[in-house]
Chains A and B, each alone.
Chain A
Amino acid sequence: DQQVKQNSPSLSVQEGRISILNCDYTNSMFDYFLWYKKYPAEGPTFLISISSIKDKNEDGRFTVFLNKSAKHLSLHIVPSQPGDSAVYFCAASASTSGTYKYIFGTGTRLKVLA
């Protein structure tokens, strides 16, 4: 049972354009969501997060949108740069669970074309 889903395994975008990565979840108890970026042979690095009391959070070129009614979040990268080429994972946790564990999606490989 995949509680966090990233249905697009890959995405290609031209440099300078917007990249939109999507993530869906099924567990209504999730209340904190994050995006991580991962390069090959390295650990994931944290990009941006959002709590369920918000519907948008921005940090520089990165914006995360949360639609609770649709159980959907998205990451927008504007403008996209070749260095953004990596695998992106969304993750979710439920603060009421008491365990603070994250459930991750399967990842989307973003390729930014110069």
Chain B
Amino acid sequence: DVKVTQSSRYLVKRTGEKVFLECVQDMDHENMFWYRQDPGLGLRLIYFSYDVKMKEKGDIPEGYSVSREKKERFSLILESASTNQTSMYLCASRLGAWTEAFFGQGTRLTVV
């Protein structure tokens, strides 16, 4: 069974902290994505990666960075957390064109 696992379901962090969100997939997928979901705004793409050490900015990359040192792992980094980064963060992976993306269970991050 396909699996995308995010390291935490819920996180509470303080303003200014550096935050790491981890995502691991077991499907040998090339493509991995980080989205955030906010009410009324849907899922917005933060960053994606199409190969190890390769990354591209999505629609809202400001305040975030990513790391992909191994094919199965894609990390999202909040360099200095701010309250407007309070959100649901969703990791996904996908094999390629004409295929669906599989999502992790999400991380609800609250920055106080």
Contact = CB atoms under 8 A, between A and B. Distances in A.
Interface of A: 6, 9, 32, 34, 36, 41-46, 49, 51, 89, 91, 93, 95, 98-107
B69 interface: no
A32 B101 CA distance: 12
Interface residues of B, number: 29
Contacts of B105: 42-43
B42 to A, nearest CB: 4
Given A32-B97, A100-B96, A42 B45 contact: no
B33 A104 contact: no
Interface of B: 4, 9, 31, 33, 35, 40-45, 48, 50, 56, 58, 90, 92, 94, 96-98, 100-106, 108
A43 B104 contact: yes
Contacts of A36: 103
A43 B92 CA distance: 9
